[in-house]
Structure 1
Amino acid sequence: MKKVITFLFFLISLGLQAQIQLKITDQITGLPLENVRVKADKTILRTNASGIVAFSGENLKITFALEGYETLEKTFSSGEFEVQLIPTVLNLSAVTVTAFESERPLLEQSAAVVTVSERDFSRFNEISPVNAFNQKAGVRIEERAPASYRVSIRGSSLRSPFGVRNVKVYWNEVPFTSPDGTTALNLLDLSNIRTSEIVKGPSGSIYGAGNGGAISLFSQPNLSENRISTDFLAGDFGLSRFRLGLSQQVGNGGIEASYVSQKSDGYREHSAVDRQVFQLGGYFHVSEKQEIRTQLLISDLDYQIPGALNADQLAANPRQARPGSINQNSSISQQSVLLSLGHLYRFSEKTSNNTTVYLNTNNFENPFILDYKKELGFGYGARTKFTHETKLGGKELRLIAGAEFQNAITDAQNFGNRAGKADTVRFADKLRTYQGFFFQQAELNLTEKLLVTLGLSENFSGYEIDRQIDAAGGRTGLQTRTFDPIVVPRVALNYRLNPFSSFYGSISSGFSPPTIDEVRTNEGSLNLDLEAEKGVNYEIGYRLGKEKFNLELIAYYLKLDETITTFTNANGVVLFRNAGSTDQKGIEASLDYAILRNASGFIKDFLVGTAYTGQFFTFIDYKKQTNDFSGNDLTGVPPHNVVSRLDIRTRPGIYLNFTHQFTEKIPLNDANTVFQESYDLVNLRAGWVKSLGNFDLELFAGVDNLLDESYSLGNDLNAFGGRFYQPAPSRNWYGGVKIGLNY
């Protein structure tokens, strides 16, 4: 009898044991999703053909992951629930961005903001961000040589003979752009960039200097599960890339580490690249009120500079280096360390503060045909933001206020270059650059549909150049340039027409002081009279986001005064000057359509999209000696660019990504007498993705420049001796494997 009673109690306990039963479906189709990886504590299960999975227990934090869908984490009590996963390509009404320090759905943003997702990056060869960014309207990254980037947002690369200027870049909320206005984007591997948000046009009311816009790069770890992963890629021109990654939960937070080594011989002579990047990040949930974030980035980059060719050299052999580049070992070696600490504190449900501080060091060495440059730098900075939500007359009001400050100190020396070795010192400087601003913003919901934004920043910046040595007999001693404080306002409206469409308009100011490389040139002169560019941007836009159809239309007019342009002297040294003003009128249109989305069919996704960029930019009142270039097209800007995409993903895991980009001819000098001819660039990637228990496997292969076009992805502008062209690689193939283990 005792055994019977014991058995009955056992059965009753089984019946009373709390259970969580989940049915996972596609948010768009409502169809069940099979093989979703569902993790609760240390238990990992997969959904069956009906999308169902069950756990014993209650109040469990459960994570859902499936290729092609956003990762989701929720807490469940006992019972039966339906969970909808969001496809990674979805309508605009479901996309939330943090642009202008205000987290809102994209349809409520009153600015031109574009997102670049992990899926965008993985459509191409994952050795650089170039192709992923270039599929977005109004955005263009040029690559004059491997790892030598030039970012252009709405034609902002005019004054960038090399490097990234006139665009403010943040990495994990850290100001990645130096206080002198330059950005070493090539120090980051693509594994350090999971997603990105790009604000197009002047955004100084929140982000400070930069008429082109602002780019926020994010690599925050996915700490919903413990994971070890590795990638290997190989391709033409001696390309190889290896990555090893680890993410580990620690309490309610965790750490993530990755190491990447990428090497290539390059398409052209003397264009090899060797980059190694180590990243260590941590996220710690201290309490319901506090979160702490840490980042350590160590980057070691070496790349050769083949140099630009003239038309005859290009026709004879596009793979050759510029004469002298090899003998002089024209190249860049750069080692950098960045350490940051972020702290989020919630005073209440309505009020919070987010502060990030950083330190960085930089060792830079650049032998060039004409000289040899060495720099050793140290910098620090901070950005803080307070957010408070309240009501004004019964209407919702969000107030944002904060500040940012950066300071950098550099020992810079320029030598003669004798066969690739530093020779006699020509001049040496101790440099200090600083930049800071305060910002305030108010967002008021005048009605349920109308959002009004008023923003303002107060900016200050300057340089100190303490010349220690000048072998040419020039002036030594301290020379300074302090720019007058600049107030940058912004006014914007967003009107929600209905749940899936909106209209916005904005007027925003911007400014961009000259960088230290524009003030302090390679031949030793100091152009302290160079003025900051100042612009006013007028913009309107319309967005439509439905389940299978996205449309965005934008028109803008930017009036830019004191435009900084480049020219090259007889010795080939790039110099800078203010060139009157420019009129910049533009149109941007993006369309995405899901022809087929079927969670249970053979073809799960069939997506097409296109992005058009029209840039009708001209000089105004631009005279250079006896030449009058007023009315000419702006140098280095293609008037038309069209990108078309086709993506197919199947139930067995096979996928195909096809991209076609047409770029209209580009004027390469201010006189508009030399052009880069128009070109069609076609890229293709195919692969197979499979989840095998706790293992994830991906095999992939692709081809860049399928049509074998002859083109330059980044040209030298107003080049002396006709050396305009930096030939891009011909048709090239690559392939690789990705392996991940969840434990």
Structure 2
Amino acid sequence: MKLSLYSLTFILLLGLAPVAMAQTSLTVIDDESGEAIPSVVITMDNGDRYLTDDNGQVSLELSAHTKALFTHIAYEATRKTIAPNTPTDIRLTKKANQLSEVVISSFESERYLMEQAAAVSKIDQEALYRFNETSIVNAFNTKSGIRFEERAPGSYRVSIRGSSLRAPFGVRNVKIYWDGIPFTAPDGTTALNILDLSNIEGAEIIKGPAGSIYGAGNGGVISFTPGKINQNKAETSVSGGSYGLLKYRVAVDQMIENGSLSASYVKQQSDGYRDHSALDRGVFQLQGRFEPSDKQRITTQLLYSDLFYEIPGGLTEEQMNANPRQARPGSAEQNASINQESLYGTLVHDYRFNKKWSNHTAVYLQTTDFENPFNLDYKRETQYGYGARTKFQLNDRWGKFPVRLLFGGEYQFANTSAQNFGNREGRADTIRFADDLITTQGFLFQQIEINWTNDLLMTLGLSENFSRYDINRTVDASAGDPYAAERNFDPVIVPRIGLSAQLTDYSSVYGSISSGFSPPTIDEVRTNEGSINLDLEAEKGTNYEVGYRAEFLNGNVQLDASAFFFKLDETITTYTNPQGVVLFRNAGATDQKGLEAQLDYILLSNPAGWIQQLKMGHAYSFHHFRFKDYINDGEDFSGNALTGVPQNNLVNRLDLTSRTGLYLNLTYQWVDEIPLTDDNAIYQDPYHLMNARLGWRKNFGSTWQMEIYGGTDNLLDQRYSLGNDLNAFGGRYYQPAADRNFYGGVKVKMLY
């Protein structure tokens, strides 16, 4: 069959004709309110970009199913598949930018921050990534009443309202949870430095004692949340900076039927600002989330951390002025350092029996190998432990009043084999003493929340706590014979009462009275020179607090302020013997009065403009903390300022986000003078700290995302110590922080 010239021409033109495009109408709405969202940027796979109008609508020309990325300054980014010629509503989840929208779950009961009768701060992912991504220190220091210290890379201390007084090293007197798992060991210490920033998506911090549901710890509670998986993605990042900094990360998230899987590995190395202050850390995390049914959810985590960092040691004022980068004489020769391998396995199970009853249960297994050569000795420890926490919750009505009832318990066990040797040029020498240590702690808790009216919420909490140390000394080179010691702390009942009253839809007041206690940690009872101090008593305190929260100008101005009075008895303080060993003693009592305020406001918000958002924030703390009835070796320190706590602390933040992807984060912090000795004879000078980060984010189609950033820490080149050694023998108080330094990095993410 032959084709005519006309027929052939028609077929060729038909083949070259464009595929018919169908008009597709989209409406983007708020997932909660259903209101239309204008100025949403829609990025197609081919790179085309569209903007929704004032009614949240846009019209697209599509020939086939297409994936698109929806972004807006006030909403979570979402990737959706769009069908051609099909009117579709796209629902976006709003970011919690206002006090009335922030949900707090730290009291085991999800409620809006406006309803909470306690001083609680929340740190989201945006706040964590305003700085250099090598540690969590700077982000936490933007909150009033909270001070993270880093004496050297990887060497953390945490102070919530002055609680680091008894922590010459490590994290103590603060209870820490990670994904609902007790991350603080039963002996009261926390290896916070085994976590990388990428293992954390956000955090909630309860300031002051919250023992009614969390047991021991007068300082407060930090609850870390790991990242949530809501889409398939692969990402990688690399960054570097001053003093040999290098960090890289690879991660994959995969959605599966009724769940998700994710895996990540991150490596961080640096030479450190000071001599003998290098860091090398690798962290692997494997996470799974499964929903076998509508009633239950299972979450599993496997976390492996391999951490090594060098300890440069404290300097005298003369040494610091001569050369702040030097290490304490002998630290390098003795290889003063920490080498720690940790493995955590966790399982969390949530089950909803019916509309009223639910249960949350978490269990973990943990092992640690720890090696610590120091200037004066050489320590080795091997530990394994396990623990569990369970909570039952009832949502019901008591007569005409809505009631929420919670009750449950927590138990932890750890067995540690610890040996202390002499240190001969960085190698373990003759054994001095060895102990088998068993630590247990547990408590039961009950809490009831009653809405007496729509605007008045009362919370009553109670816990019954116990803890025990068993020390079996198998080797004692000085005394010769082995022996055993034990310490049972009397059961402690810890109550809490709180009232929260809603004044308007956008303001509330609260008041609370809460008790707390904190037994000495095993490192305070069993010290490095071999003594066992069984006479050390637990700290006990009561906190009285009132607060006010409010929003103004449609949520663009937010205020969170509180005043408190904390009475602490049997306060544990540190001192150093002539050999340089840190020891502990009870110091009578302290009175801690304070004011704290957080003020945040949005200066400009225009999602369609070049500057999409410009906002500022301020955090101020006034801590009038004083020793009371503190007499030591005939010296009366009563009335002196509490050691290690600045009286004033001010933080200012400025954040700018543009439509082109450029962003700027500026932070300025002023820290008042800090007393370094109980007699207040030595102070660290006040200092001004400024940090800046400039970056650019870009979406390439709906699949690829890139971020390039750089920044400067200590922009003003201040000489200061971010973590001093208190009451140090020989005047070695100072751990100089880095001078002006720089960093930069690249992140690439693929959504699939």
Tell me the TM-score normalised to structure 2 length: 0.92
Aligned to 2:6: none
Task: Describe how 1:426-445 pairs up with structure 2 within 5 A.
Answer: 426-445=432-451
Residue 613 of structure 2 corresponds to residue 608 of structure 1: no
**CA shift at 1:122, angstroms?**
1.0
Shift of 1:547: 1.9
Q: 1:267 aligns with which of 266, 273, 276?
A: 273
Q: Which amino acid aligns with 1:688?
A: W
Matched letter for residue 734 of structure 2: Y
Answer yes or no: is 1:251 the counterpart of 2:260: no
Q: Is 1:285 aligned with 2:291?
A: yes
- In 1, distance between residues paired with 2:750 and 2:42? 15
2:668·2:688 contact (CA, 8 Å) conserved in 1?
yes
Taking the aligned partners of 1:120 and 1:457, their CA distance within structure 2 comes to: 33
Match of 2:143 in 1: 136
In the aligned structure 2, how far is the partner of 1:196 from the partner of 1:52? 36
Displacement, 1:70? 2.9
One-letter amino acid of the counterpart of residue 740, structure 2: R
The answer for unaligned runs of 5 or more in structure 1 is 1-16
Partner of 2:4: none
1:150 aligns with 157
Q: How does 1:535-554 map to 2 (within 5 A)?
A: 535-545=541-551, 546-554=554-562
1:98 is the counterpart of 2:125: no
CA-CA distance at 1:91 after TM superposition:
1.3
Q: Does 1:199 align with 2:206?
A: yes
* Gap change, CA 1:735 and 1:61, over 3 Å in 2: closer
2:695 to 662, 684, 687: 687
The 1:386/1:126 distance shift into structure 2, 3 A limit, reads: same
Q: Deviations over 1:206-227 (max 9, x none)?
A: 11110000000011322x2100
Please tell me the residue identity of whatever aligns with 2:284. F
User: Which residue type is aligned with residue 553 of structure 1?
Assistant: A
Does 2:420 match 1:414?
yes
1:97 Cα deviation (Å)? 1.1
Task: Give 2:527's match in structure 1, choosing from 521, 525, 528.
Answer: 521
1:367-382, aligned counterparts within 5 Å?
Answer: 367-382=373-388
Query: Which deviates more, 26-35 or 121-130?
Result: 26-35
Q: 2:493, 2:674 → 1: CA distance?
A: 34
Match of 1:705 among 692, 697, 714: 714
Correspondence for 2:28: 23
C-alpha deviation, 1:515, in angstroms: 0.2
Q: Aligned-pair distance for 1:65?
A: 5.2
What residue in structure 2 maps to residue 9 of structure 1? Answer: none
2: CA distance between counterparts of 1:699 and 1:336? 32
Measured at CA, do residues 262 and 214 of structure 1 come closer, stay the same or move farther in structure 2, by a change above 3 Å? same
CA positional deviation for 1:148:
0.2
Q: Hey, what's the Cα distance between the residues in 2 that align with 1:585 and 1:664?
A: 16
Matched residue, 1:315: 321
Q: CA contact under 8 A between 2:78 and 2:92: conserved in structure 1?
A: no
Residues 221-248 of structure 1: per-residue CA shift (max 9 Å, x gap): 22x2100001111000000100111100
Matched, 1:674 2:682: yes
When residues 398 and 228 of structure 1 are mapped into structure 2, their CA distance, relative to the original with a 3 A threshold, is: same
Counterpart secondary structure, 2:717: coil
Per the TM alignment, residue 19 of structure 1 is displaced from its structure 2 partner at its CA by 8.4
Question: What code does the residue aligned with 2:746 have?
Answer: V
Pairing of 1:549-568 with structure 2 (within 5 A): 549-568=557-576
Match among 564, 575, 588 for residue 580 of structure 1: 588
How big is the alpha-carbon RMSD for the aligned residues of Structure 1 and Structure 2?
2.6
1:724 has 2:729 as partner: no
Q: Say if 1:210 and 1:28 are closer, same or farther in 2 by CA, change over 3 A.
A: farther
How far did 1:86 drift? 2.4
Is the CA contact (8 Å cut-off) linking 1:24 and 1:33 kept in structure 2? no
Greater mean deviation of Cα atoms: 468-477 or 278-287? 468-477
Contact 2:511–2:547, Cα closer than 8 Å, also in 1: yes
Give the whole-Å Cα distance in 2 for the aligned partners of 1:183 and 1:44. Answer: 47
- Residues 92 and 214 of structure 1, relative CA distance in 2, 3 Å threshold: same
Matched residue of 2:165: which SS? Answer: coil
Contact 2:40 2:70 in 1 (8 A): no
* Alpha-carbon distance, 1:80 to partner: 5.3
> C-alpha separation between the residues in 2 aligned to 1:249 and 1:126?
27
* Aligned residue in 2 for 1:627: 635
Q: 1:461 to 1:193 in 2, by over 3 A?
A: same
In 2 relative to 1, CA 567–447 (structure 1 residues): closer, same or farther, beyond 3 Å? same
CA distance in 2, matches of 1:233, 1:475: 54
SS at match of 1:158: helix
Partner SS, residue 280 of structure 1: strand
Distance in 2 (CA, whole Å) between partners of 1:189 and 1:67 is 27
- Where do residues 84-123 of structure 1 align in structure 2 (5 Å cutoff)? 85-87=93-95, 90-123=97-130
2-structure distance, mates of 1:411, 1:125? 37
Partner of 2:742: 733
Select between 145-154 and 45-54 the one with higher mean Cα deviation: 45-54
Call closer, same or farther: CA 1:698–1:75 in 2, change over 3 Å: closer
In structure 2, runs of 5+ residues without a counterpart are: 1-21
Contact 1:45–1:53 (8 Å) recurs in 2: no
Query: What is residue 532 of structure 1 aligned with on the other side?
Result: 538
CA spacing shift, 1:448–1:127, aligned 2, 3 Å: same
Against the structure 1 CA distance between its residues 66 and 361, is the aligned structure 2 distance closer, same or farther, given a 3 Å change threshold? farther
Alpha-carbon distance change, 158 to 447 in structure 1, aligned in 2, over 3 angstroms: same
Q: Map 1:24-423 onto structure 2 (within 5 A).
A: 24=29, 32-36=38-42, 48-50=51-53, 52=57, 69-71=75-77, 81=89, 83=91, 85-87=93-95, 90-222=97-229, 224-423=230-429
What secondary structure sits across from 2:75 in the alignment?
A: coil
Q: How many residues align?
A: 721
**C-alpha displacement at 1:626, in angstroms?**
1.4
SS, match of residue 469 in structure 2:
strand
- Report the Cα distance in structure 2 between the residues aligned to 1:486 and 1:271, rounded to whole angstroms: 41
- Partner SS for 1:725: coil
CA contact (8 A) 1:29 1:599 kept: no
Say which SS state the counterpart of residue 560 (structure 2) adopts.
strand
> Is 1:510 the equivalent of 2:519?
no
Could you say what secondary structure the match of 1:286 adopts? strand
Distance 1:474 1:531 in 2: 28
Shift of 1:99: 1.7
In the TM superposition, residue 82 of structure 1 has moved relative to its aligned partner by: 6.8
Inter-partner Cα distance in structure 2 for 1:267 and 1:640: 27
**Residues 84 and 279 of structure 1, relative CA distance in 2, 3 Å threshold:** closer
Contact persistence 1:308–1:723 (CA under 8 A): yes
Q: Which letter does structure 1 place at the counterpart of 2:455?
A: K
Give the deviation of 1:353 after TM superposition.
Answer: 0.3
Range with greater deviation from structure 2 (564-573 or 67-76): 67-76
Identity of aligned residues (%): 56
> Aligned partners of 2:286, 2:122: CA distance in 1, in Å?
24
Q: 1:345 corresponds to which letter in structure 2?
A: Y
Q: Find the counterpart in structure 1 of residue 5 from structure 2.
A: none
Query: 1:53 Cα deviation (Å)?
Result: 6.3
Contact 2:145 2:161 in 1 (8 A): yes
SS of the equivalent of 2:325 reads: coil
Shift of 1:73: 9.7
Q: Name the aligned partner's letter for residue 161 of structure 1.
A: P
Task: Tell me which residue corresponds to 2:15.
Answer: none
CA–CA separation in structure 1 for the residues paired with 2:559 and 2:344? 39
1:378 Cα deviation (Å)? 0.1
Q: Which amino acid aligns with 2:194?
A: L
> Equivalents in 1 of 2:431, 2:614: separation in Å?
61
Structure 1 counterpart of 2:646: 638
User: Could you tell me which amino acid in structure 1 is paired with residue 733 of structure 2?
Assistant: F
Question: Aligned partner of 1:93: which letter?
Answer: S
Question: Contact between 2:364 and 2:387, CA under 8 Å: does it hold in 1?
Answer: yes
8 Å CA contact retained: 1:115, 1:196: yes
Structure 1 residues 604 and 307: CA distance shift in structure 2, 3 A: same
